[in-house]
Amino acid sequence: MTTTTTRAAKKAVPESRYVPEDGLLLDVEDLHVEFHTADGIAKAINGVSFQLRQGETLAILGESGSGKSVTAQAIMGILDMPPAVIPEGKIRYCGQDLLTMDPEVRRKTRGPEISMIFQDALSSLNPVFPVGWQIAEMFRQHRELNKSDAMNEAVRLMERVQIPAARERVKAYPHQFSGGMRQRIMIAMAIALDPAVLIADEPTTALDVTVQAQIMALLEELQEERKMGLILITHDLGVVADVADRIAVMYAGRLVETADILPLYASPAHPYTRGLLESIPRLDQKGQTLAAIGGLPPNLMRIPQGCAFNPRCRMAQDICRQDRPELREIVSGRFSACHFAEEVIDA
């Protein structure tokens, strides 16, 4: 469905967006984020690099505390600074570094260029304003639409994200919607200004599976229709398998493996990824023996020397306790941060 038929909607398409020819929307390079707290410095992100192209879905996968949300917040520019500090790194959006950009200019990218969906829709929506009003307000502020045009756009958008009886419900408040409906409204707000990059941080983690399926289907459709670059943050290897083109596996604030989705599941190139795949029960298997990765992710104030995964790794050798493995290309398009990646990939 396109919305370009009305006068109001014509304005809703950004006048000009410079997208480089190779479609490279986002280029994160050697990003570091620290939290300076009373207990010490937590090194949440320790040199993360990745790229996102137009129409691509990149999944960032990791267990809780691995740094997924902090990465997303750094890109969005919504980290609390302090306690957060970004000592190093670049986040280029269509070639321009967001981190060195004038804060006022950067603020204006939020919404029309890069936007985000959060896990907890209830606390991200404003409880005291009707949802329709909240959506319409974005059109009024960014697109200078008048009140009734903005409201019409809001209704159209609510219909687009499949809110039944949208016109009657524009005046309803967030708490009057179910969890799934609220997540749809969040999505409507996130795509309202037709962003080039959409970051979805655990968009379905709080939802039931049948609702999750609806929401993921909607996100896929919208991405297809608008050719957005989508960063899907999740801990769920099942959800990733269903939607992502590429995947980046995060551990203790670093990417330990990145690859296209098919080869990664077929032959992981990092012991952590491999262990994760061994440890999930599968709906379509019976008689499965589950194996677990021993131990816990490290405390980010004391990340082990060498490879951060070494205390839990069954393949660890002396070198792993001394030298930190860099993320390197193992075979074309496949990167792993393990000294023994070649052995793992063949295992």
Partner 1 sequence: MPEVILEAKDLVKHYPIKTGIMRRTTGHVKAVDGVSFELHKGETLGIVGESGCGKSTLGRLIMRLEEPTAGEVVFEGLEMQKASTGDMRKLRRDIQIVFQDPYTSLNPRMTVGDIIGEPFEIHSEVVPKGGRRQRVQELLDLVGLNPEHINRYPHQFSGGQRQRIGIARGIALNPKVLVCDEPVSALDVSVQAQVVNLMEKLQDELGLAYIFIAHDLSVVRHISDRVGVMYLGKMAELGTEDEVYEHPTHPYTQALLSAVPVPDPTLRGKREQIVLVGDVPSPANPPKGCRFHTRCWKAQEKCKVEEPQLIDRPDGQGAHRSACHFAELRTIVETVDVTQVEPDDRFAGTDVRDPSDAEAAADVPAPESVNEHVAQDRNLPGDATTMVQNDEGAPDRREI
Q: Does 271 bind partner 1 (CB under 8 A)?
A: yes
Q: Decide: is 292 part of the binding site for partner 1 (CB under 8 A).
A: yes
**Do residues 93 and 110 touch, judged by C-beta distance below 8 A?**
no
Residue 241 interface partner, choices Mg ion, partner 1, ligand ADP, none, CB cut-off 5-8 Å depending on type: partner 1
- Burial classification of residue 282, based on how many CB atoms lie within 10 Å of its CB (0-12 exposed, 13-18 middle, 19 or more buried): exposed
Binding partner of 240, given ligand SF4, Mg ion, partner 1, none, CB within 5-8 angstroms per partner class: partner 1
Burial class (CB in 10 A: 0-12, 13-18, 19+), 253: buried
- Residues within window 300-319 making contact with ligand SF4, judged by CB under 6 A: 307, 309-310, 313, 315-316
Comparison of 116 and 320: residue with beta carbon closer to ligand SF4: 320
Stretch in the footprint of ligand ADP (CB under 6 A) among 9-17, 62-70, 238-246, 256-264: 62-70
Distance CA 206, CA 248 (A): 22
Binding Mg ion (rule: CB under 5 A), the pick from 46, 57, 66, 69 is 69
Backbone phi, psi, residue 159, to 5°: -65, -40
Other C-beta atoms within 10 Å of 229: how many? 24
Interface mask toward ligand SF4 for 323-342; x: CB under 6 A? --x------------xxx--
- 78 is an interface residue for partner 1 by CB under 8 A: no
Q: Report the 10 Å Cβ neighbour count for 295.
A: 10
Q: Which of 78, 81, 105, 291 binds partner 1 (CB under 8 A)?
A: 291
The residues in 241-260 that bind partner 1, with binding defined as CB under 8 A, are 241-242, 244
Q: Are the CB atoms for 240 and 234 separated by under 8 Å?
A: yes
Which residues lie closer than 8 Å to 210 by C-beta, 6 or more apart? Answer: none
Task: Report the interface residues with ligand SF4, using CB under 6 A.
Answer: 271, 307, 309-310, 313, 315-316, 320, 325, 338-340
